[in-house]
A and B are shown apart, each in its own frame.
Chain A
């Protein structure tokens, strides 16, 4: 099945209307010596029934854990049915980038609403329409703040390792310097950071909460960074923004982050959504698409892609980023999710993440042999070490349908990075604690 509506007879009729007798003639420009002599080595075509059967069989080889205490950059949250259904509407799903504004007002308005929502969550003035994911957003933000005088990026070692790696790939390709600022007690080491900052530093990237779940003293970091004349980029967990101090209140110059918690399933890592927002002063540095509100000739409200002079199709090699396709449908999902949860609902989700994580941390650290490795204030992720090896713990949990926290090495020690969200019930946490007790005994 090739989804070609024209029958073989119609194809011939079309050819003959052009004075041709075979499709092959249309490929005359391709030298015959280069052409494939046989069919591609691919499996034979399957019917819809067979394809879904085979893919269902493949999907069943994966384990869907009933209970999940793992985060570390991808988070399981409740997704309301209305969010899923609305984001599946085919007019949205099968649309191209809204270059033709008049027939794309629905897509453009949804992006405008998304930008507004990101600004309201972060406190920033301007959001773009989104980039590939949180790590990519961080890398783009670091690139955005570089100039001839300042080209060095500083990243705290307390950020998610994957984000650090992506920033590092981007810096290596661009040929610019990246310095990692060390961690002390689970947070960015301020003294060490002060020693690293210099006149060549373009920006500093931190995460809030950081990889270990701890809330950084972002205001102190912002003061340090600004006194060195550099910019602070804050990678934010979006649900925590409903409660925690905003990046603007902390003094950040750019707020970026992984938008996956806002209504996107785990999906083995993608598609996710990178959000990026800045203050007005840096509006024209922001990469990617931006939707603006204007009017048409009759004075009706109209939305349109704007400030395009920043982008690759106009600036070509002078553009700071080559991004073209983004994650628009994920941005749509995020805005519908935020509207579905609403002003109070998102606070409640954030509050439950916090309460349940703190309950779990207290319970786990009360088990003999288990302890939290840091004292710092955390949101919904935390790190423990134990006398029992993480691999034994994970095995026991797996037998009970639980995906445990992520085994991580901290300062050479085997630890576990736990994550608790609103979907974890007290019963689940208690069951987890019981299994850990059993493992420790």
Chain B
């Protein structure tokens, strides 16, 4: 059975039924009514359940198998975290209830914020942003408010390495900053000379992720921090790659002034097919008074909401993706200090083990030990066989694993970026290495099999050009 839910509609079929109305005699005047009924499907409950159950079988999650998407930290999502977020005392609470009736929610938020400050080395934190990019927007708004408050309105430039996630420059632009892209060195690190010549009295901040998007820890970070701080700018940490360093080194200790986290990456909350995520923003004390309102405070054992003195205002309704925060809280409680550190250590171990397994077969543009992820370049393969990174990725689907991130970072041609995470076993890593090598071999022996891949999925490669030329965006 395929087709859309609309195709399964039969006039008169019903699914959920609410009790008939015990109040009659009121009707909406015709002037206010829509001309025609909204054409929603009419299906029986069994039709509904089978339709979406079948769709779920055409989806692929971490629960289905290995998901080495670089930069996405697709680690296993513990089930207890889901149970915690389904507690009625969390799900059935109105966000505008009197504060004395939501003390448990505030306590949970306070606990999580405290844990995240400790992990990142920051002084204050907001849980309001709903995703990583939202966190970037929020943190850059704080930086802008801080600079404006100090009368430093000439600081309009935001320095972003060319290896950065696309959200970085886009968030910068949303906050009215001019983006200055600086090149990476041949070994994938920030070019210190380029950085030195880019900073000046117009520098607002440097936006950086460390380890960076090629999986290397930039050991010059102290020099960067000093360079930017000496010029009067701030340092912003993109927390996408925090899974490499928890319990080992903290962004706050590297010299960063603000950081966003991705609870849906590092703190094991599920990605939901694209969201909801959560992108808390932590900052040093000097930025705390600009945090979005409200922040949780505790006085004599009672929690309350307060507005920071010079708050940038709210970036989202209410207090953030609260249930996602509960999942992350349960995760941190389960792991504890030692477990958090072990998670990062084993993320790095697994990445190095997989990289090592592939070293003899694939070109690794930035060789040497990696952090939690690494990048392969298939440029030579493409030249020799015509098989692209995308073809290899599709071939991996037929070999039973979710492909790595493709064509990112932009500084590597025909890139495949792998992040196995700590929650995969040695056998899974061995299996993945075998699959990758097998696909590589096929590129030479039977390249067409890769051009045609995948063949084991419900559909083959969609015609993306046709989708753009003739957009069909609704039924």
Please tell me if the beta carbons of A97 and B274 are within 8 angstroms of each other in the complex: yes
Whether B174 contacts A355 by the Cβ 8 Å rule is no
Q: CB distance B341 to A64 under 8 Å? A: no
Is B34's CB under 8 angstroms from A243's CB? Answer: yes
The answer to the question of B364 belonging to the interface, with a C-beta cut-off of 8 Å to chain A, is: no
B468 within 8 A of A: yes
Q: List 29 A-B residue pairs with CB atoms under 8 Å apart, sorted by A's residue number.
A: A6-B425, A44-B338, A47-B334, A51-B330, A61-B89, A95-B272, A99-B406, A102-B459, A105-B459, A130-B275, A136-B134, A143-B174, A163-B317, A166-B313, A166-B314, A168-B313, A246-B34, A265-B92, A266-B93, A268-B322, A271-B322, A271-B324, A296-B463, A300-B459, A301-B459, A313-B408, A324-B167, A325-B277, A340-B48
* CB-nearest residue of chain B to A336: B52
Interface hit among B100-108, B196-204, B227-235, B434-442: B100-108
Contact, CB under 8 Å: A4 / B422: yes
Q: Quick one: which of B17, B35, B102, B246 contacts A345, CB cutoff 8 A?
A: B17
**Chain A residue at smallest Cβ distance from B211:** A29
B276: contacting residue among A30, A31, A270, CB under 8 A: A270
A344 interface hit (Cβ, 8 Å):
yes
Does B94 touch A at the CB level, under 8 Å?
A: yes
Give min CB distance, B282 to chain A, whole Å.
14
| B423 adjacent to A95 (CB under 8 Å) | no
The smallest beta-carbon distance between A317 and chain B, in angstroms, is 4
Does the CB pair A355–B462 fall under 8 Å?
no
List the A side residues contacting B393 at CB < 8 Å: 100
List of A residues within 8 angstroms of B2 by Cβ: 301
- Considering the chains assembled together, what is the distance between the CA atoms of A318 and B87 in angstroms? 42
Provide the bound-state CA to CA distance between A321 and B264, in Å.
Answer: 20
- A-contact 0/1 string along B238-274, CB 8 Å cutoff: 0000000111111001100000001010001011111
Inter-subunit contact A136/B316 (CB<8 Å): yes
Which residues does chain A contribute within 8 Å of B37, judged by CB atoms? 242, 343, 347
Is the beta-carbon distance between A330 and B275 smaller than 8 angstroms? Answer: yes
B169 touches A54 (CB 8 A): no
Partner of A292, one of B45, B118, B406, B471: B471
**B154 contacts across to A, CB distance below 8 A:** none
Q: From A86-94, A193-201, A222-230, A431-439, give the one contacting chain B.
A: A86-94
Q: B466 touching A294 by the CB < 8 A rule?
A: yes
Contact indicator B334/A325 (Cβ below 8 Å): no
Which 4 A/B pairs are nearest by Cβ-Cβ distance? A269-B318, A59-B89, A45-B336, A94-B61
Interchain CB contact under 8 A, A272 and B317: yes
Residues of A within 8 A of B19 (CB): 425
Cβ distance B62 to chain A, nearest Cβ, rounded Å: 4
CB <8 Å contact, A169 and B29 = no
Contact B104 A10 (CB under 8 A): no
B332 within 8 A of A: yes
B312 close to chain A: CB less than 8 A: yes
Q: Are A23 and B348 in contact (CB under 8 A)?
A: yes
Given the contacts A39-B341, A95-B61, A215-B32, A346 and B461 also touching, CB distance less than 8 Å: no
A94 & B248 in contact (Cβ 8 Å cutoff): no
Residue from the list B15, B91, B249, B342 in contact with A342, Cβ < 8 A:
B15
User: Does any Cβ of B come within 8 Å of A341's Cβ?
Assistant: yes
The verdict on A355 contacting B130 (CB below 8 Å), with A39-B247, A296-B461 known, is no
Contact of B98 among A93, A301, A394, A422 (CB under 8 A): A394
Query: B1 contacts the other chain (Cβ, under 8 Å)?
Result: no
Flag A28-42 by CB within 8 Å of B: 1 or 0 each. 111100111001111
| Cβ B26 vs Cβ A358 within 8 A | yes
Q: Does B377 sit at the interface, judged by CB under 8 A? A: no
How distant is the Cα of A5 from the Cα of B467 in the complex, in angstroms? 42
Q: A321-346, CB under 8 A of B: which get 1 and which 0?
A: 11111111110100110111111111
Contact status of A42 and B174, CB under 8 A, knowing A91-B56, A102-B461, A339-B40: no
Looking at B248, B329, B341, B393, the one whose CB has the most chain A CB atoms below 10 A away is B248
Asked if A60 is at the interface (CB within 8 A of a chain B CB), the reply is yes
Do A97 and B273 have beta carbons less than 8 Å apart? yes
Distance between B277 CB and nearest chain A CB, rounded to angstroms: 4
Q: Given the complex, which residues of A lie within 8 Å of B182, measured CB to CB?
A: none
**Most chain B Cβ neighbours within 10 Å, of A76, A354, A422:** A354
What A residues does B15 contact at CB under 8 A? Answer: 80, 82, 339-342, 345
CB proximity to A under 8 Å, residues B427-475? 454, 457-464, 466-468, 471-475
Q: Is the CB of A297 within 8 A of B271?
A: no
B48 near A40 with CB under 8 A, answer: no
Interface-central residue, B27, B277, B338, B458, by most chain A CB under 10 Å: B458
Please, which residue of chain A has its CB at the minimum distance from the CB of B60? A103
Q: In the complex, which residues of chain B have a beta carbon less than 8 angstroms from the beta carbon of A157?
A: none
Any B CB within 8 A of the CB of A290: yes
A370 to B45, CA, bound (A): 44
Given contact pairs A62-B93, A101-B462, A294-B466, a sample of 14 additional A-B residue pairs in the complex whose CB atoms are under 8 Å apart:
A4-B343, A27-B217, A42-B118, A42-B340, A51-B334, A62-B103, A82-B16, A83-B16, A86-B49, A86-B52, A243-B32, A292-B473, A302-B463, A344-B42
Complex Cα distance, B26 from A358, in Å, reads 7
Scoring A residues 5 to 31 as 1 if CB is less than 8 Å from chain B, else 0, what string do you get? 110001101110110000101111111
Q: How far in angstroms is the closest Cβ of chain A from B309?
A: 16
Is the pair B80, A343 in contact by a Cβ cutoff of 8 Å? no
Is B144 an interface residue when CB atoms closer than 8 A count as contact? yes
Shortest beta-carbon distance from B44 to chain A in Å: 10
- Nearest-neighbour CB distance to chain A for B73, whole angstroms, equals 10
Q: Output the nearest chain A residue to B315 by Cβ-Cβ distance.
A: A169
CA–CA, A317 to B177, complex, Å? Answer: 9
- Contact between B89 and A2, CB atoms less than 8 A apart: no
Contact of B273 among A98, A173, A267, A306 (CB under 8 A): A98
Judging by beta carbons under 8 Å apart, are A289 and B471 in contact? Answer: no
Shortest CB distance B364–A (Å): 14
Once the chains are docked, how many angstroms separate the CA of A356 from the CA of B59? 41
A10, B426: Cβ atoms closer than 8 Å: yes
Say if the beta carbon of B137 comes within 8 Å of chain A: yes
A27 neighbours in B (Cβ, 8 Å): 217, 248, 348
Establish whether residues B337 and A40, one from each chain, have CB atoms under 8 Å apart when the complex forms.
yes
Contact flag A269-B55 (CB < 8 Å), given A45-B339, A90-B63: no
| Contact A104:B317 (CB < 8 A) given known A86-B52, A319-B170 | no
- A414 sits at the interface (CB 8 A): no
- B313's nearest neighbour on chain A, judged by CB, is A169
B137 partner residues in chain A, CB cutoff 8 A: 173, 322
Q: Given A40-B247, A58-B104, are A74 and B131 also a contact pair (CB < 8 Å)?
A: no
Binds B, one of A114-122, A179-187, A381-389: A114-122
Contact partner, B174, options A162, A322, A339, A358, Cβ 8 Å? A322
Q: Residue A62 contacts which of B90, B457, B471 (CB distance < 8 angstroms)?
A: B90
Bound-state CA distance A130–B72 (Å) is: 20
A215: chain B residues at CB < 8 Å are: 32
Contacts of B28 in A (CB 8 A): 243-244, 351, 354
Closest-CB distance, A180 to chain B (whole angstroms): 14
Q: Is the CB of A312 within 8 A of B471?
A: no
**A416: CB under 8 A from chain B?**
no
Contact A341 B219 (CB under 8 A): no
Q: Which interface residue of A4, A58, A170 has the most chain B CB atoms within 10 A?
A: A4
Interface residue from B59, B75, B101 paired with A92 (Cβ < 8 Å):
B59
Answer whether residue B353 sits at the interface, using C-beta atoms and an 8 A cutoff. yes
Does A112 sit within 8 A of B, measured CB to CB? yes
